[in-house]
């Protein structure tokens, strides 16, 4: 008699993340326990219905006299290459243990279908079944389903983030020319168009913030910030010093630019950016030094990666200064272009050298 494997597939590992189920799960009783675990954690997850459908299918085959066994395999919450590798690993474990002659696949939608060809290449698939949850056939029910689906972080990143990126890019294509026209003519009639573009840009940014759960991350950051401030962390003290140096440098450079004559506002703007490059790099270096001091205080160790970050900051500063010097030469005949070229070359050399040594020495340097 042929042995049939009824295989339930959960590509995004809702059973593991929400129900704390360790997969693969083999056998009807264990699969019922897994379904109950996810049902208690999230009663509205459609993967529960897919697993119950697999259990019902396996029991029907057994009642018909077939040698049927059920198994549940899961991927990873980071859907993609990592989840597919996890599914393949669990699939091979199940196949080695059960050694089925044919497989019946059960899933809850289009997402699980991506793994079906991989399963078919390792076992003989007789049937594929998709399970859909019954919903009220009205707009309110559809909106409810969409809202619940987008409440999951991985779904928001997959569907909302691309939309936010597209809206932001399109708004910038309109906003930048409108700003250039306005600062050239200072015509008040251009303000409505600029306001429209800014509103569209804000919509795109808000969608990105929602997709990547910005508010939760911001709350965690502020919580850590308060903890470090209360603990008088060296990192926060040096970070405050870095911000102060940056703000002071911006003010000093601004007054220096306003006291100097330039051919156009664009040349003045590029000159201002060129002036604050090295104060910005200095601020970043001060912050990195704070991180090094904090780690040394906590663990009496210095990570080489942080030391090499200082060289990375320096290489970026030299490279950016060279690019800005070239821009200033071509738009305002300021400076020597060969100086900019030499700065770009020097920045690339420092960056490649730092990257090389950073790859060679990845372990921490312990200072006694």
Q: What is the pLDDT along the chain (368 residues), one digit of tens a residue?
A: 688 999 998 888 889 989 899 989 999 999 999 999 999 998 877 788 889 999 999 999 999 988 999 999 998 887 778 888 888 899 999 999 998 889 988 877 656 667 778 888 888 888 777 766 555 445 444 555 566 566 667 777 777 888 889 999 998 888 888 888 877 777 777 788 888 889 999 999 998 888 888 877 888 877 776 666 555 567 778 888 889 999 999 998 888 888 887 777 888 888 888 888 888 989 988 888 888 887 777 777 667 777 777 888 888 888 888 888 888 887 766 777 788 788 888 888 888 887 777 777 654 444 43
Going from N- to C-terminal start, the domains of the chain cover 3-130, 231-366
DSSP 137: S
Q: Helix, strand, or coil here: 187?
A: coil
- Report whether 97 contacts 63 (CB < 8 A): no
Distance CA 304, CA 131 (A): 52
Residue 238 CA, chain-centre distance (Å), reads 28
DSSP 13: -
Tokens of 322: 């060279």
pTM, full prediction: 0.45
* pLDDT computed for residue 234 by the predictor: 74
- Report whether 197 contacts 244 (CB < 8 A): no
Q: Closest Cα partner for 125 from 107, 141, 101, 145? A: 101
Q: Helix, strand, or coil here: 81?
A: helix
Tokens of 252: 């000093």
**Calculated CA dihedral for residues 232, 235, 241, 245, nearest 10 degrees:** -170
Sheet of 125-130: strand order equals 25-26, 67-74, 3-10, 102-107, 125-130
The 3-state DSSP composition of the chain as helix, strand, coil percent (nearest 5) reads 70, 10, 20
Residues found in the chain: 368
Residue reference for tokens 């309109």: 174
List all residues 6 or more positions away from 131 whose beta carbon is below 8 Å from its beta carbon: 46, 49, 50, 53, 106, 107, 108
Distance CA 75, CA 187 (A): 57
Beta strands in the chain (DSSP E): 3-10, 25-26, 67-74, 102-107, 125-130, 301-302, 365-366
Distance CA 38, CA 40 (A): 5
Tokens of 313: 């900051």
DSSP 263: S
Omega before 249 cis (within 30°)?
no
DSSP 207: H
């Amino acid at each position: 008699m042929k042995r049939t494997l009824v295989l339930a597939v959960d590509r995004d590992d809702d059973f593991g993340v929400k129900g704390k189920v360790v997969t693969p799960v083999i056998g009807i009783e264990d699969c019922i326990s897994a379904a109950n675990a996810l049902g208690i954690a999230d009663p509205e997850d459609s993967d529960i219905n897919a697993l119950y459908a697999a259990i019902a299918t396996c029991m029907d085959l057994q009642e018909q006299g077939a040698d049927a066994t059920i198994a549940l395999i899961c991927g990873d919450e980071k859907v993609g290459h990592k989840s597919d590798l996890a599914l393949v690993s669990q699939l091979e474990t199940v196949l080695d243990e059960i050694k089925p002659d044919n497989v019946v696949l059960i899933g809850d939608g289009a997402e699980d279908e991506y793994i079906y060809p991989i399963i078919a290449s390792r076992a003989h698939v007789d049937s594929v079944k998709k399970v859909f949850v019954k919903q009220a056939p009205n707009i309110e029910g559809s909106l409810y389903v969409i809202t619940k689906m987008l409440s999951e972080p991985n779904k928001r990143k997959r569907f909302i983030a691309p939309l936010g990126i597209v809206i932001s890019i399109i708004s910038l294509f309109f906003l930048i020319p409108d700003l250039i026209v306005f600062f050239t003519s200072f015509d008040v009639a251009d303000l409505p168009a600029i306001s429209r573009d800014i509103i569209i840009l804000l919509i795109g940014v808000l969608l990105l913030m929602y997709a990547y759960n910005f508010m939760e991350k911001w709350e965690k950051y502020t919580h850590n910030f308060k903890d470090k401030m209360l603990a008088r962390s060296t990192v926060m003290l040096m970070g405050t010093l870095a911000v102060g140096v940056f703000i002071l440098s911006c003010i000093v450079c601004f007054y220096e630019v306003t006291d100097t004559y330039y051919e156009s506002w664009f040349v003045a703007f590029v000159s201002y950016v060129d002036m604050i490059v090295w104060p910005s790099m200095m601020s970043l270096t001060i912050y990195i030094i704070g991180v090094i001091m904090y780690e040394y205080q906590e663990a009496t160790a210095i990570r080489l990666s942080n030391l090499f970050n200082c060289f990375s900051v320096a290489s970026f500063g030299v490279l950016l200064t060279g690019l800005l010097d070239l821009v200033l030469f071509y738009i305002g005949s300021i400076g020597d272009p060969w100086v900019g070229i030499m700065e770009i070359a020097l920045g690339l050399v420092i960056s490649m050298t730092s990257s090389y040594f950073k790859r060679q020495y990845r372990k921490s340097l312990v200072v006694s």
